[in-house]
Amino acid sequence: MTTSAEIVKEPIYQQLSQVLRAVAGGAEFPAGSRFLTEREICRRYGVSRATANKCLSSLVSEGVLEFRKGVGTFVRGRAMDYNLRALVSFTDEARAAGKEPSTQVLHFERVRGEAVPDDVAALLGTGYDETVFALERLRLAGGLPVILERRHVVARYCPDLSEADAAGSLYALWTGRYRLDIAGADQTIRAVNIRGGDARALGVREGAAGLLVTSVGYLSGDRPLWHEKTLYRGQAYEFHNRLGPIQPAGEPLGKFL
C-alpha cells in the first residue's frame, strides 16, 4: 500500500534543478556557453523568478554553472588542475584544460629594497639598496579571470625583465632566456573569502570562496628568487595530490614536495 508520504513530489525548485542540470553541458548549452537567464527560465518552465534564482544559485554552488560578474551565468567547463607536487606554468595548465591563457599586467615597477615590505624582504634576503621587481598580474583562462597574483622578484637574476615579459610565462622566461635552475618553492594554502577590489578583478561576488597561495620560490643553492601572494578563484581550480603512507602528525615532509 502506498502512503501519502511516498507520493509527495519533490519541491518544484529541486525538480527544476534536475532538469537544468541535465540541460547544462548538453548540445544546447555546451561547456563554456552562456546559460539561461532567470527570465528565460521563468518563460521556458513557467516558474517564479525566486524559484529560477534558487536553482541557478544551487547549480553555481555545485560547480555546474559559474557566475561572471557583469556578464552572466555560463556552463562550467573542465576545472584547471593545481599540482601540489611540482611547479607548473599557468600557461600550460590553461592549455591542458582546453582554455586559451592570457595575462593582464596590472602593475609593474622596479623598486629599491627599502620599498619592499619587511616580511617579504626578510624572506627574499634583499637589502635596502637591492633592486626588486614588484608586479601584479591578472591571469585569465578562456577569457575568465582565475588568478590574481602579486609578486616580488629579485632583480639581479633577471635584470632586464620588462612589463612586456610579465605578460607571458615567467617560468618559461627564467628557464629559457636567463637559464635559471629553479629548484622549487615553499607554499602555504588557505581558504579565504574574496572581497573588495580583489572580487571585482576576479569578477566574483563579494565574499566568494577563494584560495590564497603564499610562496617563496628558490633557485638551486637555496637562493630565493620570488615571493608571491596569489589569489585563486575557487570554482576554477581543483587541487590534486597523491598522498604517501601514514606518518605521525607534525613530522616534516622536506623542503619541497
Residues 243, 85 contacting (CB under 8 angstroms):
no
Q: Which of 36-50, 60-74, 77-91, 142-156 has the lowest mean pLDDT?
A: 77-91
Residue 170 C-alpha cell reads as 615567467
The pLDDT score that the predictor gives to residue 32 is 76
Cell 589569489 found at? 231
The pLDDT score that the predictor gives to residue 221 is 94
Listing DSSP states for 163-220 in one string gives TTGGGS-HHHHHHHTS---EEEEEEEEEEEEE-HHHHHHHT--TTEEEEEEEEEEEET
The pLDDT score that the predictor gives to residue 8 is 47
Q: Which of 30-39, 70-79, 184-193, 245-254 has the lowest mean pLDDT?
A: 245-254
Q: Which string of b and e fits 165-201 if b means at least 16 CB within 10 Å?
A: bbeebbbeebeeeeebeebbbebeeeeeebeeebbeb
CATH domain 80-240 topology: Chorismate lyase (3.40.1410)
Condensed to tens digits (0 to 9), the pLDDT of residues 101-159 reads: 889 999 999 999 999 999 999 999 999 999 999 999 999 887 888 899 999 999 999 99
Same fold, 10-75 and 80-240: no
Label the pairing between strands 144-154 and 131-141.
antiparallel
Condensed to tens digits (0 to 9), the pLDDT of residues 151-188 reads: 999 999 999 999 999 999 999 999 999 999 999 999 99
* Domain ranges (residues) in the chain: 10-75, 80-240
> What angle separates helix 12-23 from helix 49-62, to the nearest 10 degrees?
50
The pLDDT score that the predictor gives to residue 7 is 42
CATH of domain 10-75: 1.10.10.10
User: What's the predicted TM-score (pTM) here?
Assistant: 0.67
The pLDDT score that the predictor gives to residue 250 is 58
Mean predicted confidence (pLDDT) in 21-50: 88
The Cβ of residue 21 has, within 10 Å, a number of other Cβ atoms equal to 15
